[in-house]
Amino acid sequence: MDRTPPRYSRGRINRAGKALATADRDRSSPELREDMRVLNNWRAAHGFPLSALHDRLRAEATNIAADAVVSQRLKTTPSTLSKLRRFPRMQLARMQDLGGCRAAVHTIEQVRELRDAYLALDLGHKLIRNIDYIDRPKPSGYRGVHLIYRYQSDDAFNGLVIEVQMRSRLQHAWATAVETAGAFLHHALKFSEGEQEWLRFFALASSALALKEGSPTVPDTPSRESTLHREVREYATRLNVVARMREYGQLIRNMSTFKRIGAYYFLLERRPAEGMTLIIPYERDELEEASADYLAFEEEGRDVVLVSTDSLEDVRRAYPNYWLDARLFLREMQGIL
């Protein structure tokens, strides 16, 4: 397995994050390009501890649901810098989700079973946060379980923080739909940025799915089903949600892959103008090469993310938003509409 160690001090990492978050979009100066290299190395360093927690998550999730979708990803630079701008006091070296893995199972009951099984493991790492967004959904409508671990070892990776997410099928469908809509609206809806009517629609839709799952609704949304469904229909009609999301879903249906045996990491690039998503695979010991390509693509302004799943077939299941694919969400909404 590739082990890319952090090459810079925490102080240098924090200074790079601050400079990049406060700079304009032009990062062509030598100083900012060096800051980008610092950020990329710090991000890539999370790959080794992330893989360790991901492998244990995959084992537990597939034991509970054989077809569980388990994946891992290194946070994109735009998302990283957006978070630093939203939280000016946050330091890059202390960000808790640069490396994250996720399991999507069928039901809330399976999510909780998975959480309890994972917490019972002797991982050897320190659990620093256990957040239940199912019992306490975010105002945006986001629901799921997050476990934050501090990796503990006697090498350079000691102290790196990894986020473990667990979602039900419906929670994953909702999150995918939010990212898909955000892509075609050019707003970060997942961060509660963008048109208020779309943000309200997704908060209401999340509550509707929560009621179906028998869990608490989103704050400031109706808890009575008839009232909630009526408001969902009003916003869906006003925004023409179904037609617009289906239309954009037709933009990207194809997948172009560079063939390579033994791939573990996949660089996804969304190309709407060509109606396709490009997938570049890398073997398990090629994380540093993959991270360098990731950075180069981001610097060119491409829509990319570096991920890992159990197989190429699972890439689309784990990241349907890279195909603007919200079909499961739309099927659930049809029952309301």
Q: Is 116 exposed, middle or buried (0-12, 13-18, 19+ CB in 10 A)?
A: exposed
Residue partners of 300: CB distance under 8 A and separation at least 6? none
Q: What is the mean pLDDT of residues 98-123?
A: 97
The arithmetic mean of pLDDT across residues 304-309, rounded, is 90
Question: Mean pLDDT throughout 182-189?
Answer: 85
Selection from 96, 233, 89, 228 nearest residue 164 by Cα: 96
Sheet hosting strand 263-271, strand order edge to edge: 126-132, 145-150, 161-167, 99-104, 69-74, 303-309, 263-271, 276-283, 254-257
Whole-prediction pTM value? Answer: 0.89
Q: Among residues 101, 112, 100, 106, which one has the least CA distance to residue 68?
A: 106
Per-residue pLDDT tens for 53-84?
A: 999 999 999 999 999 999 999 999 989 999 99
Residue 1 has pLDDT above 80, yes or no: no
Instruction: Render pLDDT for 235-249 as a digit per residue (tens, 0 to 9).
Output: 999 999 999 988 887
Q: Retrieve residue 163's tokens.
A: 């986020």
Residue 264 — pLDDT band, cuts 50, 70, 90?
Answer: confident
Residue 277 and residue 255 in contact, taking contact as beta carbons nearer than 8 Å: yes
The rounded mean pLDDT for the chain is 92
Q: What's the mean pLDDT in 189-193?
A: 86
Strands, E, within 258-335: which ranges? Answer: 263-271, 276-283, 303-309
